[in-house]
A = this chain, B = another copy of it.
Amino acid sequence: MELKHFYEAQQLNQEYIFSLFKLADEIRLAPERYQEALKGKVLATLFYEPSTRTRLSFETAMLKLGGSVISTENAKEFSSAIKGESIEDTARVVSGYADAIVIRHYEEGSVKKAAKVSTSSIINAGDGKGQHPTQALLDLYTIYRELGRVESIKIAMVGDLSSGRTVRSLCYLLGKFKNIEVIFVSPEHLKIGDDIKSYLKRHNINFREEDDLNKILPEIDIVYMTRVQKERMSIEDYEKARGKFIINENNLNMIRTDARIMHPLPHVEEIVLPIETEQKDKRAAYFRQSENGLWIRMALLLNLLKKVQDN
């Protein structure tokens, strides 16, 4: 399987995913061997929505491969979008400069549109309520590193499941594997979408919905916490949802010692643990998860840009 653009998790098959994980492992263990791998290549990051974290992760990945980076952290206001230019035209212009373009956009589907016309590789770094497929990749890579497997896992996804695109993308990826069980835990008004449910059904993934977090903590391998996204809902909806599902010192020990807490970050009040616990208790995996983003994005960039080179 060859990949030029990466705009949604469904594009990948098992073989491609495992080859990425293998490459990410190799880079992680001997990064100096890859220091010049993409020398002369240019990555553009076009962010129409704020995300310092994801942008810096991609940029670091490119720089550590010896490539260069051009960047805008406020494309919505500063680029030609404000003058009425379409995302397709912007992609065509920027593909005249850069070998790969990472786009975060406020509109679902816009990144795929860009990919259709771009001569350079396009990578989706989050499109509205759509997807965030490289986050799903780093999530799965974290599961793989923490549990030693990506099959036969029971995972709870907790929090704002209606607007959380990381959860959506992760479900799409999990659909590629066997013996997965998903438990959705969310406030009544922030439930997972029907499109995800029918996708999981089609792919024979067991799932159920629960509303008592503590009840299921003892049985899970992974509890994937997410933030209630204040900026994407009304104040009433936010107040109803916040603080409803929390990991703290009271329920931490309901989680098995070989299970893991994950979170795409930033976390606010849905995880309240002392910094010392976060640093020493292996179950708190979310900062390691964040760091995994670097290795998996290096592997992805290497794969996409080597392919382009071969064409």
Contact = CB atoms under 8 A, between A and B. Distances in A.
Given A56-B72, A72-B52, A80 B32 contact: no
A18 interface: no
B96 A287 contact: yes
Given A64-B42, A97-B294, A56 B70 contact: yes
A71 to B, nearest CB: 8
Name which of A40, A50, A51, A82 has the most chain B CB atoms within 10 A of its CB: A50
A73 B78 contact: yes
A107 interface: no
A97 B98 CA distance: 22
How many monomers of this chain does the complex have? 3
User: Which of A52, A74, A77, A79 has the most C-beta atoms of chain B within 10 angstroms of its own C-beta?
Assistant: A52
A221 B77 CA distance: 36
B72 A73 contact: yes
Given A73-B72, A74-B74, A117-B275, A80 B97 contact: no
Tell me what chain A mostly uses at the interface: helix, strand, loop, or mixed: helix
Given A52-B75, A56-B97, A73-B74, A80 B40 contact: no
A44 B56 CA distance: 8
Interface in A16-63: 31-32, 35, 39-40, 42, 44, 46, 50-53, 55-57, 59-60, 63
A35 B44 contact: no
Contacts of A148: none
Nearest to A97: B60
Contact of A85 (B35, B73, B266): B266
Contacts of A89: 265-267
Contacts of A51: 78
Contacts of A70: 56, 59-60, 63, 69
A290 to B, nearest CB: 5
B92 A287 contact: yes
A75 B70 CA distance: 17
A59 B42 CA distance: 10
A231 interface: yes
Contacts of A35: 39-40
A151 interface: no
A88 interface: yes
Contacts of A266: 80, 83-85, 89-90, 93
A3 interface: no
